[in-house]
Amino acid sequence: TPFLQISGLRKAYGNLEALRGVDLELRRGEFLCLFGPNGAGKSTLLKIIATLLRPDSGRIRVLDNDLQENPEAYRARLGMVSHQPFVYQDLSLLENLEFYAALYGVKQPRKRALKLLQQVKLIQRCDMPAGDLSRGMQQRLSIARALVNDPELLLLDEPYTGLDEHAARIFGEQLRLLHDNRRTIIMVTHNLRRGMESATRLGILARGRLAYLQEKDQVDPAS
Ligand code: ADP
Ligand code: ADP
């Protein structure tokens, strides 16, 4: 059975149809990179999967958990990284992660926070205010935050925005490590190179529909 199952997803903002019937199935461990022009509906799709926005119609399920029927169980399985790092600037890295771990009901929040900081290689800076981090480090902190509840599904909306080449490369390595843990990932990006090197599947969203969906192995770079 597919890990993620989306069918007939529609969303309009007034008269503007942002999503016009999106169907998508992913197996566990797939890494889908979603491209498409501005205004295609990519953010809308991610926000709906992340439960930040409600669709007009359609269904989403992650394994046995249907979003409409059991939103809590569904939400427990996912994490999201948006292009604006969502961290408290005045709190230290450790305090930030401890706060979120406690919020998610993690049993030993400090222990979890320290482990995640180790994982994203920010442990030496754990007492620094998050606001003092470089853009790339903030983005890695955002990944750590998104992993607090050990999500099986990770959603990334333009995570490379504002990262220089060096930071982008480190971020890409982080993503590949996470993917090796058999996490399922959906990433929206304009960064074709970074997307291509991480993804196992490529999709293009155009005018509210999935215009293209292919295994990366079957994509001929020359065509
Ligand atoms: P993308 O992420 O591919 O750029 P979006 O999902 O952000 O696309 O937007 C899809 C369309 O919906 C665009 O035409 C955008 O202007 C419109 N849109 C997005 N959010 C809103 C909103 N809150 N209210 C009205 N229109 C919106
Ligand atoms: P993103 O890059 O995540 O799509 P945007 O910068 O496009 O974010 O939009 C920021 C916010 O404004 C989002 O909440 C989005 O839904 C909303 N928005 C986007 N386009 C429109 C629009 N045409 N009218 C009203 N709100 C919009």
Rounded distance, CA 161 to CA 168, Å?
A: 9
pLDDT of residue 174: 84
Rounded distance, CA 215 to CA 106, Å?
A: 36
**Residues forming beta bridges with residue 13, ordered by sequence position:** 16
Does an H or E element contain 46, and which? helix 42-49
Check pocket membership of 43 for ligand 2, CB cut-off 6 A.
yes
Rounded distance, CA 18 to CA 10, Å?
A: 8
Residues 6+ apart with CB under 8 A from 38: none
The dihedral over CA atoms of 27, 29, 32, 33, expressed in degrees to the nearest 10, equals 180
Closest-approaching ligand to the CA atom of 52: 2
Query: Quick one: pLDDT band at residue 119, thresholds 50, 70, 90?
Result: confident
At 112, list the tokens.
Answer: 């979890």
Q: Is the pTM of this model over 0.90?
A: no
Q: How many residues does the chain have?
A: 223
At 42, list the tokens.
Answer: 């990519």
Q: What is the pLDDT of residues 167-212, one digit of tens each?
A: 888 888 888 888 877 899 999 999 988 999 889 999 999 999 999 9
155 CA from centroid of ligand 1 (Å): 18
Q: What is the pLDDT of residues 136-168, one digit of tens each?
A: 899 889 989 999 988 999 999 998 888 888 888
Rounded distance, CA 223 to CA 219, Å?
A: 8
Q: Is the pLDDT score of 130 beyond 60?
A: yes
Q: Which atom of ligand 1 is nearest to the CA of 47?
A: 6
Spell 58-95 as b/e; 16+ CB within 10 A means b: bebbbbebebeeeeeebbbbbbbbbbebebeeeebbbb
pLDDT of residue 125: 97
Q: Is the pLDDT score of 223 beyond 60?
A: no
